[in-house]
Each structure stands twice: as C-alpha cells, then as structure tokens.
Amino acid sequence: MKIGFVGLGIMGKPMSKNLLKAGYELVVYDLNQDAVKDVVAAGAAMGENTKALAAQSDIIITMLPNSPHVKSAVLGENGILEGMKPGAILVDMSSIAPLASKEVCEQVEAKGCEMLDAPVSGGEPKAIDGSLSIMVGGKAEVFEKVKDILQVMGATVVLCGDIGAGNTTKLANQVIVALNIAALSEALVLGKKAGVDPEAIYNAIRAGLAGSTVMDAKAPMMIAGNFNPGFRIELHIKDLNNVLETGHSVGAALPMTAQVMEMMQWLKANGKAMEDHSAIVRYYEALANDTVCK
C-alpha cells in the first residue's frame, strides 16, 4: 500500500516522517521544496504534482492550511481528484469548514473514490511524537480501512460521525482550547497584579479541577515569555473564523468565542500573528500594564 502525503508544514512533516518510521511507502508533495527534500531524505519519494502523487497512491493524505487550499489541491487543475484511482481514499487531515469537507467529498465519491475528514489536535510536539488526537468523519467501513495508518500519527483516533463530523469536532476543540488559554491568561495576570508569583499559582492549581492539558502546555510558555509557535495565532484565527461561520449557519450563539477572536485580532494587528496562541496572555498584559513572565 502506497500513501501520498500533501502538505509538509509544521504538522505535516513530522506526521509524514512517523508514517515512514512505521514502514509505510510514501510519496510526498509540497510547494516548499526544502520540506520535501527533508522528508525525501528520510525515505519518501517525491511527487511531481498532486495529480501524479494521487495516481501512484492508494491512500492520499492532505494536511493543508484551510478550505481554499484543500479545494485547490484536490479539485484544481492537475489536482488530486484528476489522479485518483477508483477505490482510492482521500483522508483530509486539514482543519477546514465542515461544509467544505462535504463539497469535496461529493466530487470524490462521484469519481468512485472515498473520503474522510480527519483533523488533528495536539500541535507540533504531539505531531512529532505521534500522539495527536484525530477526529474523523465519514463512512465506518472506510474508517476501518485507514484506522491503523491514523493510529501511527495519533494516540486517540475517534470516528465522530458522517463526513464533516471530524471538522465539526475540531471546531469544538478549538473553541475549548482558545477559551482555556484566555481564562489561564486572565487568571495569571490577576495573580501577578495581586502580588502572587504566576508560577506558584500554576503549581498550586494544576492538579486540581482547574488543571488541564492546555494549562500544562501553555502556562510554562507564558511564565517563560516563550511564544515560539507550536500553533500560531493566525491559524487559530482561521479556525475561529470557521467556528463562527459554522455557528451562524446552524444557529448556535458563540459569544465567548467571538470575544476571544477579538483578542486574537488585536494580537494580529500588533504584529503577533506568527506567535503561539499562548500569546493571548500579551493581550491581558497590555490591559494590566504588567507581565506574567519573570
């Protein structure tokens, strides 16, 4: 079985390397030739374009920034759909709008192929160690065919429903992550202004009800003033745009999400778009005229 992998960014590159380590035969494509060369050096073959890559592959995985990129890679000229063999499976692991997943799936199925949407959560560290959370939408029988492959990249792999359910679940995940980071930021800045060491606050509460994976990942970054991106502000803005668009389309009110989106927009306007989303604390620091960082 040969796997095609399109999209070798912060997440896609380590994910593809984990597939190689597990013994899968891989052909890869990305506009960034340095990323391609890196994965080829690890044992992959290089695809000429997405059409050629798909023609060589039984399963094609895409890991791209947003809905337009997926549509272009799959449905565009010399795209994946043109090269897909009957019975091939497209697994889109990008975080995109659920409606876009459904649109692409319709055209994939019309060609006699199958598709799953399977976005991930966990950021670069979990992409590197293969412990991502993978949320899948699509047919159960198709999911079973690729489950072992997904388990190479993820610690948890869950079928959430029909096509689009994976991305809907990912949007819910991104709401929870964003609001957790904002709450953590607000709390640590409160502590600092009141004269309590933010690191002491973190160590005191992390094992209690307030503790979370988000807190353990982001509090140390805030305290160290380290905003090197595991997941960039600009990408979380993209996800929250999809959240709000989806919420509006289904009639779900999202007032807290909208508020955190405005915080992120402020950060973007102040040159922080490429920083990690833990930089939400910078918004609160600006309001308080103080810093959490020691």
pLDDT (tens digit per residue) in 232-265: 999 999 999 999 999 999 999 999 999 999 999 9
Domain check: are 211 and 148 in the same one?
A: no
Position 276 scores a pLDDT of 96
Mean pLDDT along residues 264-277: 98
Determine, yes or no, domain membership for 294.
no
Looking at residue 226, what DSSP letter applies? -
Do 94 and 19 lie in a common domain?
yes
Domain endpoint, select from 162, 183, 201: 162
Domain end residue (candidates: 162, 193, 221): 162
Contact between 127 and 134 (Cβ < 8 Å): no
Give yes or no: residues 155 and 200 share one domain.
no
Indicate if 172 and 120 belong to the same structural domain.
no
CATH of the domain at 41: 3.40.50.720
Co-location of 262 and 136 in the same domain: no
Residue numbers annotated as active site: 170
Average pLDDT, the chain: 96
Q: Report the candidate in 131, 231, 116 with the shortest Cα–Cα distance to residue 169.
A: 116
pLDDT score at 231: 87
Per-residue confidence (pLDDT) for residue 122, from 0 to 100: 87
Q: Which two tokens stand for residue 146?
A: 């690729």
Q: Alpha carbon of 133 to those of 34, 136, 167, 168, 215: distances in Å?
A: 27, 10, 12, 14, 17
**Residues 137 and 241 reside in one and the same domain:** no
Q: How far apart are CA 39 and CA 13, in angstroms?
A: 7
- Tell me the C-alpha distance between 23 and 176, whole Å: 35
Total domains present in the chain: 2
pLDDT of 98: 95
Q: pLDDT per residue over 175-205, tens digit each?
A: 999 999 999 999 999 999 999 999 999 999 9
pLDDT digits (tens, 9 = 90+) for 114-148: 999 999 998 888 999 999 999 999 999 999 999 99
Tell me, yes or no, whether 249 lies in a domain.
yes
Determine the pLDDT at residue 89: 98
Residues 26 and 124 in one domain: yes
Looking at residue 1, what is its pLDDT? Answer: 86
Q: Is the same domain home to 235 and 120?
A: no
Domain C-terminal end among 123, 145, 162? 162
- What DSSP letter does each residue of 129-146 carry, written as one string? HT-EEEEEES-HHHHHHH
Residue 123, pLDDT score: 85
What domain range includes position 193? 168-288
